[in-house]
Amino acid sequence: MNFYKNRDDISLTLPEVVGVRDIAPLISALSEARAAQGNVELDCSKVRFIDPFGMTALSAAISEVQAQKRRVALTWLDAKTVSYLERMNFFVDNDIDAVDVPVNRQRNDLRSKLLEITHIVDSGTSEAVADQLAAAIVFMIIGRAEKTNNDQAIDLEYDQYYRPLRYALSELIENSLTHARREGAHDASVWVAAQFYKDALVGGRVEVAVVDNGCGFLATLKNHAELPENTHGAAIKTALKPKVSCNRDMGPFGESVNEGVGLTTTVRISKETGGTVHIVSGDALFAENLAIATKRSDQIKVLPGCWDGVAISVTFTGAKLPSVKISDLLPPVGEAKQVKVPVVLRFDE
Separation of alpha carbons 271 and 289, rounded Å: 8
Separation of alpha carbons 228 and 222, rounded Å: 10
When mean pLDDT is compared over 20-29, 131-140, 214-223, the highest value belongs to 20-29
When mean pLDDT is compared over 37-46, 201-210, 216-225, 271-280, the highest value belongs to 37-46
The whole-chain average pLDDT of the chain stands at 83
Q: Identify the CA nearest to 170 among candidates 276, 82, 263.
A: 263
Residue 3 has pLDDT above 70, yes or no: no
* Domain architecture of the chain: domains with CATH: 1-101 (3.30.750.24), 110-341 (no CATH)
Residue 258 has pLDDT above 80, yes or no: no
Percent helix, strand, coil in the chain, to 5, is 35, 20, 40
Per DSSP, the three-state class of 158 is helix
Kindly state the DSSP code that residue 298 receives in the 8-state scheme. G
- Side by side, which strands form the sheet with 10-13? 10-13, 40-43, 72-75
What mean pLDDT do residues 256-277 have? 77
Q: Which band of pLDDT confidence, cut at 50, 70 and 90, is reported for residue 261?
A: low
Lowest mean pLDDT among 3-12, 36-45, 192-201, 242-251: 242-251
Per DSSP, the three-state class of 281 is strand
pLDDT (0 to 100) of residue 341: 42
pTM for the full predicted model: 0.85
% of the chain exceeding 70 in pLDDT: 82
**pLDDT tens-digit profile of 151-162?**
668 888 888 888
pLDDT (0 to 100) of residue 232: 96
AA identity, residue 271 = K
AA identity, residue 340 = K
